């Protein structure tokens, strides 16, 4: 791990560290980015890699920001997760391996996927102002 990434991880809040480094989950309906409707790009809070465009975000009602598609096919990686006595597919940042959330096969067209992502794992960058909103 690079020194800059190590330094960035040291600066994370407790919830950001819990989610991204310990594969935790923030409580539903508590994330700062859940109701964000601005146009821009969601990035990894650890390494700043782009993850999702705002136009792929939708309200799934699940309590976490949901997207139907990653920004590029290789932006995230998929890992079978058998914790909690069930099978799910975990999503991690493909650049730094930070835990982001899970993907489910019940999303809207065109992909039919629901990327259920913790706000604490992301930073939103507003397309107009360049202002960052930390999840």
> Binding site membership for Zn(2+): which residues?
44, 47, 93, 96
Of the residues 45, 116, 122, 125, which is catalytic? 116
Q: Which residues are annotated as a binding site?
A: 44, 47, 93, 96
Across-strand partners of 109? none
- Nearest 10 degrees: CA dihedral of 38, 109, 46, 92? 170
* Rounded CA separation 4/34 (Å): 28
CB atoms under 10 Å from CB of 61, counted, come to: 8
Structure-block tokens of residue 124 = 């939103």
62 flagged as catalytic = no
- Annotated catalytic residues are 116
């Amino acid at each position: 791990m690079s020194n800059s990434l190590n330094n960035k991880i040291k600066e994370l809040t407790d919830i950001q560290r819990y989610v991204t480094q310990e594969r935790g989950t923030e409580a539903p309906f508590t994330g700062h980015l859940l109701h964000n409707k601005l146009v821009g790009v969601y990035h990894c809070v650890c390494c700043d890699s782009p993850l999702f465009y705002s136009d792929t975000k939708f309200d799934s009602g699940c309590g976490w920001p949901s997207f139907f598609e990653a920004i590029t096919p290789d932006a995230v990686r998929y890992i079978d997760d058998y914790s909690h006595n069930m099978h799910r597919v975990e999503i991690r940042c493909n650049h730094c391996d930070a835990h982001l959330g899970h993907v489910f096969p019940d999303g809207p067209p065109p992909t039919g996927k629901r990327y259920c992502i913790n706000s604490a794992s992301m930073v939103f960058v507003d397309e107009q102002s360049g202002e960052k909103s930390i999840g």
